[in-house]
Chains A and B, each alone.
Chain A
């Protein structure tokens, strides 16, 4: 298995110090990029096979190619640092531990797409990441990695650290742009307005996730051939009932079982019950899927809504009540729904009410069909991916853990909590 590199320096005591970063070969990728033509940089990223790590998995090089080349058109780079899906924490880890890697990736992206202004949209809750990034950005300006005439190349880029204010929907790329423009974070209709064509201030915008840009810095530093030999690597955020929750760098395609093993396995004496392979917006998979590879093909499983997403594996052992987990998940989307479209705004509230009464011993036998029906009403009808994130948990839990719902409805009690003393 290749050596992890994305996480290589995140535990160093000199986290975020520019001298330490440069002494380990930092900003060499930027030097190399600046010696190339911008189109060559885009090609190199495309050939590396890098796919965006925000959840959608679109080819990064291809995305950049959608931006017009016309020098008369103002273009922007926007970094999505609004990580907030339950189960994800890798972007925060990267920003806190290796901030110059992100800055290097941003400057390379800016050069590649011919932008002179970049913004990091950072979650307000990330106080530590903010402090680390503020210092790193100031250092980068001082030493000529940002600002005018970067490393004597004639290229200039300004980087501004912008803030979120607590809204999960702002992680959706068009809602993020609205928020960055000083509005409510409500998604825009796409198509026709993809950010690459009409993004920030309706100008072409390269909008990338934090992890994606860290990969870009490594790709330019070591070359796309080296990068392809590495796996490609991906950062898994592993949490829930594992012994060592944390961020793990493993090749794409590592099985769910192996990822759990990397995180120390289950707690002693406990059996695996289920997992969300790609954060709470993905389907819940039972033990039968433990040997499934964690890659983009997850979406091809026979389970609706199974996906890699941002690779946030949440593990549940036999002490977890599925009705409770699903109810909590739906509650999250209910509270975070922006309210713009009816299926999401109404559907999440309705689902939440039904799940709540089942959970509190007041469920009715017809509630199971009702849950399924509401989920069907939301599927394919929501304005943006937030609402579409809800049905997978409903469908998959009804399919694999129907007996738990039945037991709740029939007896008014939870069979898990009675069977296991937690």
Chain B
């Protein structure tokens, strides 16, 4: 798999914003991940080459951060915050309900490829605890009975 010209030029553009192109690595990996669905080794190598880095360097950086994925996931990522403020406000019930509804465990993807379920460390939205993010959208404070309706919004 190779990155498209559009993705490659987006990465070159990112690199041009910084005094040292390597600074664009985190952003460039997201460009690649979005296009390829996951950071497959050949895609990581391509990003690295564009920024003048050894592939091993880019892979080592990618593996450090939580938001990169190395296998494809569902179309919508559901992140359930389980840290203290959300714990105190009932995130367990929300997580249990999501597991039941989707029929999957944390870290898994629904068979139709629609949702991937993950837990998250603090999402910095404790005023909305218990809080869940679906893709880029924040939902909370969430009661289990609202979950069905929210999931319906994501095809």
Contacts and interface: CB of A to CB of B under 8 A. Distances in A.
Interface of A: 83-89, 91-92, 117, 123-128, 160, 162-168, 179-185, 201, 237-241, 245-247, 276, 280, 312, 314, 316, 320, 324-325, 328-329, 332, 335-336, 338
Contact of A328 (B61, B68, B87, B120): B87
A336 B138 contact: no
B30 A123 contact: no
Interface residues of B, number: 43
Given A86-B85, A87-B85, A182 B24 contact: yes
- Give the top 8 A-B pairs by smallest Cβ distance, nearest first: A166-B66, A127-B136, A239-B126, A165-B65, A182-B25, A166-B67, A182-B22, A239-B85
Nearest to B87: A328
Contacts of B49: none
Interface string B2-37: 000000000000000111101111110110000000
Nearest to B129: A239
A181 B65 contact: no
Contacts of A240: 84-85, 88-89, 126, 129
Nearest to B30: A163
B85 A314 contact: yes
A235 B38 CA distance: 39
Contacts of B64: 167, 184-185, 338
A387 to B, nearest CB: 16
A128 B20 CA distance: 28
A135 to B, nearest CB: 15
B45 interface: no
B1 interface: no
A74 B24 CA distance: 20
Contacts, number: 138
A348 B35 CA distance: 36
Give the interface centre of A83, A125, A280 by most chain B CB atoms within 10 Å. Answer: A125
7 contacts: A84-B122, A86-B83, A182-B53, A182-B61, A201-B20, A239-B126, A314-B126
Contact of A324 (B61, B83, B87): B87
Given A127-B136, A165-B65, A328-B82, 14 more contacts: A84-B121, A84-B124, A86-B83, A86-B85, A87-B126, A125-B124, A163-B27, A165-B30, A168-B121, A182-B20, A182-B26, A201-B19, A312-B126, A329-B84
B132 interface: no
B123 A181 contact: no
Most buried by A among B30, B66, B84, B138: B84
Interface in B65-95: 65-68, 79, 82-85, 87-89
Contacts of B84: 86-87, 240, 276, 280, 314, 325, 328-329, 332
B124 A123 contact: yes
Contacts of A245: 85, 126-129
Given A87-B126, A182-B61, A237-B126, A335 B121 contact: yes
Contact of B23 (A180, A329, A336, A338): A180
Residue among B123, B127, B129 with max Cβ neighbours from chain A (10 Å):
B127
A329 B29 CA distance: 30
Contacts of A167: 64-66
B125 interface: yes
B127 A165 contact: no
B60 interface: yes
Contact of A246 (B53, B65, B122, B127): B127
B90 to A, nearest CB: 9
Given A184-B60, A324-B87, A164 B26 contact: yes
B83 A328 contact: yes
B51 interface: yes
B104 interface: no
Contacts of B20: 181-182, 201
Nearest to A129: B124
